[in-house]
Amino acid sequence: MAKKTEPDLVLLAFELVAETGWRDLSFADLARRAGVPMARVYAELPDRAALLCRLGRRVDAQMLDLPLAELDGMSPRERVFELVMRRLDAMAPCKAGLRVLAREAPRDPALLLAALCNLDRLGRWLFDAAGTTDGRLIAAVARRVLGAIYVRVFNVWLDDDTPDLARTLAELDRRLQQAESVAGLVRGLRRGRDASAGAATAS
């Protein structure tokens, strides 16, 4: 006898969000749709924050599920580009629900807080995977810049129904170009400051 497939509670939850909205998401309705006891839903998704966290960790894992040798052959910019697109691809099954969630987020502080936790973790992993060697302060700024880039690209992706995601790809490329320009300026200023300090010490 074939083994019964376990219901994917995360995907089913975002189906419900697309239909009823984020604030009206009912975990009892989720249990009915999944055909499982409410205790099963509670064990995996005790609240809405857990649902966001669960989705975030899932798509992060799918984003990072590639051989390191592939990343080693890329520039830092190419690595970030590849990983962001992999994450968006992983979220595609939840896209309709995420559109609803994005509309409701500005009116829901708890939702914003949960989303920011996912964003902070994502920024750290993207920066780590990029393989740069900047100082601690610049690294902290860079992680937040990467998070901001992701938010902008995510919002474009939500409304991008083109088959090849042309709008999303163009937005990501443009934002990464801007980030590279800013990073180059910061490094130039830091080198100038260090050179000035060295000259002052020598004199």
Q: Per residue of the chain (203 residues), give pLDDT as tens.
A: 456 688 999 999 999 999 999 989 999 999 999 999 999 999 999 999 899 999 999 999 999 999 989 988 898 889 999 999 999 999 999 999 999 999 988 888 877 777 877 888 898 888 888 876 555 656 777 888 888 899 999 999 999 999 899 999 999 999 998 887 755 544 443 444 444 444 445 54
Residue 170 inside a domain? The answer is: yes
The CATH number of whichever domain residue 61 belongs to comes to: 1.10.357
Residue 20 inside a domain? The answer is: no
Residue 25 inside a domain? The answer is: no
Question: Where are the alpha helices (H) located in the chain, listed in sequence order?
Answer: 9-20, 27-34, 38-44, 48-64, 68-72, 76-91, 95-104, 109-130, 136-158, 166-202
Residue 43 inside a domain? The answer is: no
Alpha-carbon Rg of the chain, whole angstroms?
Answer: 21
Residue 22 inside a domain? The answer is: no
The two structure tokens encoding residue 86: 């992999």
Residue 38 inside a domain? The answer is: no
Number of domains in the chain: 1
CA dihedral (164, 165, 167, 168) positive or negative: negative
The CA–CA distances, whole Å, from 18 to 12, 14, 48, 76, 91 equal: 10, 6, 14, 36, 14
Residue 2 inside a domain? The answer is: no
Please tell me the pTM assigned to this model.
0.83
Q: Which domain holds residue 133?
A: 48-202
Question: Quick check: 17 and 28 in contact, CB under 8 A?
Answer: no
Residue 33 inside a domain? The answer is: no
